[in-house]
Amino acid sequence: MQYGLIGEKLGHSYSKEIHTAFGKYDYELKELSKDEVKDFILGKQFKGLNVTIPYKETVMEYLDFIDDEAKAIGAVNTVVNKEGKLYGYNTDFYGMLEVLKDTGFDFKDKKVLILGVGATAKTATAVLNHLQVKDIFYAARNKTKSFCIDKTVSFTEAKETLTDVDFIVNTTPCGMYPNLEDQAIDLAHFKNIYGVFDVIFNPGRTQLMLQAESLNKRAFGGLKMLVYQAVYAAEKFTGESVERNLSERILKDLRSKNENIVLIGMPASGKSTVGKLLSKDLSKEFFDTDNLIVKKAGCEITDIFANKGETYFRDLESEVIKEVSLKKNVIIATGGGAVLRKENVEALKAYGRLYFIDRALENLLPTEDRPLANDAEKIKKLYETRLPIYKEAADVVVECDNILEHKVEKIKRDHYEH
């Protein structure tokens, strides 16, 4: 191959999509075992490579030249073959720098906790030192493997002794697909943090990020870092610069192609109708969780409530949401009570952006097929109880008139531009 990515497991990589969007060269993904790495690198049958977990340190001993920055970091993620000589660089540094500069946080003289002590933690250390932080500490499961033992504690010790840190960077794979429910550390112990940066990009929002948001802290994911490290790698490959406008467009396109549009709101608020219109306009598959529940149960929702009760229905709803939320680039309309369970909201937010269709109470009409909303008084009570829950769960509140097209256009704009 001419250009591509090597790593141990690449099934969920976005790198081919990103590099193809530059329009400069063909790009391939190649999974290698540890035993295959040396022969592949020394075979030199490539023009340029990106390197990912777990080979960013491994490849260094096979290179002819290592950039001073990459050498100082102790990790290489980009290799260029120049007339048979292999040159190593670390473009992760610039990708991470782009993210941390965009946080709006002044890192100078601040105290930061890095979760993990691998190659990416080394990159984070270099970036944070560049931003002139005062102190960097590390949390690891095995302190003896740390490159900075005197500043490394266990995760338990971090929660007890480093509660005053200003920012947290997660460089571990904890929370990465398919282990979405994993979380490296409980943020409740860190009252003073401005926010967190999680280098993971799959899912779009990890449990760590979701907890940060629930605590009204800022949360930043790894997708932008992924795109911008690719930008700098492409510039190393070709010797040509990549325009900032193109970089931002690739980032937005990648996000919109992998992020679900999730519609929440009261029964009869128009979620399914809006969802079907969005599906038609955006050519995205549409799912209605109530319909999925009916299919799974083999009977109508009124029968489920009558024969099995609401708790059984909610359990079935959670099962359905957990399954459908793992899809990408789809539109999901949820039942009115889906947001009542925290687990549902977290599952939907991992790969989706939640839009609350806030239809005025006077426009919510009773429907016979919804046991909890089959008369006006029930709807009124539900609305009063659930309104703050919808607003808290939503990423965007869609407050429009009764013209459906206006709601659709607002969601489409936000989906592409946020």
Per-residue pLDDT tens over the stretch 79-117: 999 999 999 999 999 999 999 999 999 999 999 999 999
Lowest mean pLDDT across 9-13, 64-68, 232-236: 9-13
Residue 50 has pLDDT above 70, yes or no: yes
Which residues lie below 8 Å from residue 415, measured CB to CB, with a gap of 6+? Answer: 256, 259, 261, 282, 353
- Which single residue is written with the structure tokens 């016979």? 368
**What is d(CA 295, CA 284) in angstroms, rounded to the nearest whole number?**
21
pLDDT exceeds cutoff 70 at 318: yes
How many residues in the chain? 418
* pTM of structure: 0.93
- For β-strands 48-51 and 78-82, DSSP reports them as antiparallel
Domain 3-89 fold is: Rossmann fold (3.40.50)
Q: Write out pLDDT tens, residues 376-396.
A: 788 888 899 999 999 999 999
Tokens of 272: 């399914």
pLDDT reading at 11 higher than 90: no
Count of other CB atoms within 10 angstroms of residue 294: 18
Question: Is 366 a residue whose pLDDT tops 70?
Answer: no
Q: Is the pLDDT of residue 399 over 90?
A: no
The reported pLDDT for the residue numbered 360 is 87
Give the C-alpha separation, 336 to 8, whole Å. Answer: 43
Give the pLDDT of residue 229: 96
Overall average pLDDT of the 187-211 stretch: 97
Cis ω before 203 (30° cut-off from 0): yes
Indicate which residue of 30, 56, 217, 380 is catalytic. Answer: 56
H or E stretch at 316: helix 310-324
Tell me what pLDDT residue 167 has.
98
Average of per-residue pLDDT across 239-259: 93
Q: Check if the beta carbon of residue 234 is closer than 8 Å to that of residue 21.
A: no
State the chain's mean pLDDT as an integer.
Answer: 94
How far is the CA of 150 from the CAs of 107, 123, 159, in angstroms?
A: 22, 18, 17
DSSP letter assigned to residue 136:
E
Common-topology check for domains 3-89 and 94-221? yes
d(CA 220, CA 107): 15
Q: Is 56 a catalytic residue?
A: yes
What are phi and psi for residue 309, nearest 5 degrees? 95, 170
| CA 175/CA 346 separation, integer angstroms | 12
At residue 144 the predicted structure's pLDDT band, cuts being 50, 70 and 90, is: confident
Q: State the fold for domain 259-417.
A: Rossmann fold (3.40.50)
What percentage of residues in the chain have a pLDDT greater than 70? Answer: 99
CA distances 278 to 325, 393, 400, Å, are 17, 21, 16
Per DSSP, the three-state class of 37 is helix
Q: Is residue 209 pLDDT above 70, yes or no?
A: yes
User: Any idea what DSSP says for residue 363?
Assistant: G
Q: Where are the domains of the chain?
A: 3-89, 94-221, 259-417
Min mean pLDDT across 17-26, 204-213, 311-320, 354-363 is at 354-363
188 near 169, Cβ under 8 Å?
Answer: no
pLDDT greater than 90 at residue 25: yes
Question: For the domain 94-221, what is the CATH superfamily, name and number?
Answer: NAD(P)-binding Rossmann-like Domain (3.40.50.720)
In order of 75, 300, 371, the CA distances from 52 in angstroms are 10, 49, 52
pLDDT value of residue 119: 87
- CB within 8 Å of 224: residues ≥ 6 apart: 95, 98, 99, 102, 251
CA distance 168 to 78: 26
